[in-house]
């Protein structure tokens, strides 16, 4: 069954070839293939694929709440010209099924399928990004050690989060930070995101209540970002998280001891 029409210049890259190149890149970088785990999602007619490779446990970490956070490689491929080829590294927290793209270990191949797209470059571009994983881990550790005051959450969601994601998403982030519950909001009510009337929905699994650190706030952001149905929008929002966390006021415990003196 035809799934799309593309030009004669379109370079068709099969899903199997993309997945194989991703795996080869990890093996070439020294990752033991025996300890890799795989997931694949594919559309009904097979024109779109999301392939995930989960790394061995030693590449991940256990956060301060005792939950596993694993490193994974994701790729997205479409054979009908509907989207770009995307390959990236990210972090996945199992308890809440949250995904996050931190930054340093990210590789993105956002190229249209065409004559110049050489699939051989995929595996070669994976190894350099994998070497930056330690920088990602350190950033997560810093977030865990950076305390957040409850009174700073509302200005943050009404400012940077609303500017980037809109009031509805910002209100959800705020209430997850405060109560550990997702919410439905009255979009037509006046006021900022923090002032919107809400109705509590289900509890967000693994959500620290209330959020006390930047890491806790990042999980609220990640929950909202990961639940977007559109793959490109979901990845874009996951990649926004480090910048949004940077704009949230915080204080390391050592800073408080110094201030007390």
Per-residue pLDDT tens over the stretch 168-200? 999 999 999 999 999 999 888 999 999 999 999
pLDDT in tens, 87-121: 888 888 876 666 666 554 455 555 544 444 556 67
| pLDDT of 47 over the 80 cut | no
Per DSSP (E only), the strands in 35-85 are 37-42, 48-54, 61-62, 68-78
* pLDDT score for 257: 38
pLDDT at 144 (0 to 100)? 94
Residue 1 pLDDT exceeds 60: no
Percent of the chain with pLDDT over 70: 80
pLDDT of residue 160: 98
Residue 166 Ramachandran class (φ > 0 left, ψ -120 to 50 alpha, else beta): left
Residues 53, 37: contact at Cβ < 8 Å?
yes
pLDDT band at 252 (very low <50, low <70, confident <90, very high): confident
pLDDT category at 2 given cuts 50, 70, 90 is: very low
Give me the percent of the chain exceeding a pLDDT of 90: 39
pTM value > 0.95: no
pLDDT band at 37 (very low <50, low <70, confident <90, very high): very high
CA-based nearest residue to 234, from 78, 76, 104, 12: 76
What was the pLDDT predicted at 100? 61
Residue 10 has pLDDT above 50, yes or no: no
Query: Which residues neighbour 163 within 8 Å (Cβ) at sequence distance 6 or greater?
Result: none
Average pLDDT in the chain: 82
């Amino acid at each position: 069954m035809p799934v799309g029409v593309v030009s004669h210049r379109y370079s068709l890259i099969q899903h199997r070839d993309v997945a194989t190149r991703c795996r080869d890149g990890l093996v070439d970088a020294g990752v033991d293939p025996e300890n890799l785990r795989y997931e694949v999602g594919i559309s009904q007619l097979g024109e779109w694929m999301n392939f995930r490779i989960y790394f061995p446990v030693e590449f991940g970490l256990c956060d301060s709440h005792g939950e596993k956070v694993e490193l994974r490689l994701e790729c997205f491929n479409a054979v009908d010209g509907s989207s770009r080829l995307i390959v990236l590294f990210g972090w996945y927290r199992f308890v809440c099924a949250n995904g996050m793209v931190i930054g340093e270990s990210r590789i993105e191949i956002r190229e249209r399928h065409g004559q110049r797209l050489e699939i051989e470059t995929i595996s070669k571009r994976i190894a350099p990004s994998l070497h930056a994983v330690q920088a990602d881990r350190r950033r997560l550790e810093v977030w865990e050690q950076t305390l957040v005051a409850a009174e700073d959450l509302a200005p943050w969601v009404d400012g940077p989060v609303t500017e980037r994601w809109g009031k509805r998403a910002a209100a959800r982030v705020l209430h997850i930070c405060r109560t550990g519950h997702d919410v439905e909001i009255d979009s037509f009510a006046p006021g900022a995101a923090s002032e919107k009337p809400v109705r509590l929905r289900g509890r967000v699994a693994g959500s620290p209540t209330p959020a006390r650190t930047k890491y806790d706030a990042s999980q609220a952001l990640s929950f909202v970002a990961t639940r977007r149905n559109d793959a490109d929008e979901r990845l874009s929002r996951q990649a926004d998280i480090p910048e949004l966390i940077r704009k949230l006021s915080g204080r390391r415990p050592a800073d408080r001891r110094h201030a007390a003196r």
